Amino acid sequence: MTTTRAVLARTALLVAILLTATTGCSGSDTTPEPPPASEPAGSTDGANAGADGGADAGTGGDGGTGEGADGGTGTGGERDDTGQVRWAGGVRLDVDTYQDLDDEPSGGRGSASSSEPATDLRVELSRLTFKPGAGAASWPGPPERPDRSTCSALLQPLSTQETVPLPDGTVWCFRTVQGRYGFLQVKRADLHALTLDVTVWEGTSG
């Protein structure tokens, strides 16, 4: 009986030892996972700063382009060309035609109808007749050729006339229907045509 108990006690002790050994081996084989590696603070900050700097540079480029385009457009729109010569030269205008003096007459034939809205005057045998809205004023000189400001001042309502006689050499300031100023000098008048020296300036203000 005593022997049996001793055998059982030894067996229990061996089993306990084996279980302890087995648990120890299993624990030693399990390697704990390392914590996730974190990026160095310096590299993250550097990347963010680089991205921000690139975005800022792009914004600056857009801003510069917009300002340049707007500035150029504004300056061009504000240019005042009043006083510059629109056209000048000698012209030969056929008698019994209507002429537009805002642009240089081509060939002198003009229009045969007074209903043409762009025309400024009618060429007749011994005179010019300006349409309503246009007109002329005699320039006695000197000098022989007035400038734009002189013609503008001369063409006041009380001094403007619509009918202009055509003795050779006379000089007349005129205003077109569109409001441009100019002057003409009579060079020659015959039964078929009138030869003039004409200058017309840009700008329709006074």
Of 172, 200, 187, the C-alpha closest to 92 is 187
The pLDDT assigned to 66 comes to: 38
Instruction: Pull the structure tokens for residue 76.
Output: 């061009």
**Chain segment 173-196, per-residue pLDDT in tens:** 999 999 999 999 999 998 899 999
| Distance, CA of 84 to chain centre | 22
Burial status of residue 146 (CB atoms within 10 A of its CB: 0-12, 13-18, 19 or more): buried
C-alpha 198/C-alpha 182 separation (Å) is 7
Q: Where are the alpha helices (DSSP H) in the chain?
A: 2-29, 41-77, 148-154
Strand 163-165 with 121-123, pairing? unpaired
pLDDT tens digits, the chain, 206 residues: what are they? 556 666 676 777 766 666 665 555 444 444 445 555 554 444 445 444 444 444 443 344 444 443 433 443 333 333 446 789 999 999 999 999 999 999 988 776 777 777 777 899 999 988 999 999 999 999 988 877 899 999 999 998 877 889 999 888 899 999 999 999 999 999 999 889 999 999 999 988 66
Of 203, 205, 177, the C-alpha closest to 119 is 177
* Core vs surface per residue 187-206: b (16+ CB within 10 A) or e: eebeeebbbbebbbbebeee
Indicate yes or no: pTM above 0.85.
no
C-alpha 97/C-alpha 109 separation (Å) is 7
The pLDDT assigned to 65 comes to: 41
**Chain segment 140-155, per-residue pLDDT in tens:** 888 778 999 999 999 9
Q: Give the 3-state secondary structure of residue 181.
A: strand
The pLDDT assigned to 184 comes to: 95
C-alpha 142/C-alpha 110 separation (Å) is 32
The pLDDT assigned to 48 comes to: 47
The pLDDT assigned to 44 comes to: 45
C-alpha 172/C-alpha 184 separation (Å) is 5
